[in-house]
Amino acid sequence: MILINVKFSVRPEAVERWPEAVRPFTEATRAEEGNLFFEWSRSLEEENTFVLVEGFQDDAAEAHVSSQHFADGLEAMRPLLTSTPQIISHTIPVDGWGRMGELQVD
C-alpha cells in the first residue's frame, strides 16, 4: 500500500470553507479504483492546518496524480493556502488499517 500524509496550511479566512472547497476532489478520489481511504482531519495544535491521510493500492497512485480531478483539486486549493503543503509518501507492506495491539476495546 502507498500511504500518503499531507499537511495543508490554510489561510485563516479560508479555514471554514476548506471542507467544501475540497469536497469535489475528495469525492472523486474516494471513487477511484485502488483508493483504500482518503480522510481529512483538522489539527488540534495548529487551527489553520488540515491533514490528509490517504492510502492507495501500490499501482493506483500514479493514476490518481494523473487524473483531471487531481489537477482541478490542486488548483482549487492553491489560493486558500499559505504555503506549499508538506508530504510523507511511502510504500508499506500492508493492505490497510489494522487493529491496535496496545489498546484493545471489546
How far apart, in whole angstroms, are the C-alpha atoms of residue 28 and residue 32?
Answer: 7
Is the pLDDT at 66 greater than 90? The verdict is no
Query: What pLDDT score was predicted for residue 106?
Result: 83
How far apart, in whole angstroms, are the C-alpha atoms of residue 90 and residue 4?
Answer: 7
Distance of CA 57 to the CA centre of its chain: 15
First to last CA, the chain: 28
Q: What is the mean pLDDT of residues 76-83?
A: 98
pTM: 0.92
CATH fold of 2-91, please?
Answer: Alpha-Beta Plaits (3.30.70)
- Count Cβ atoms within 10 A of the Cβ of residue 3 and give its class: 0-12 exposed, 13-18 middle, 19 or more buried: middle
Cell numbers placing 24:
469535489
Query: What pLDDT score was predicted for residue 65?
Result: 85
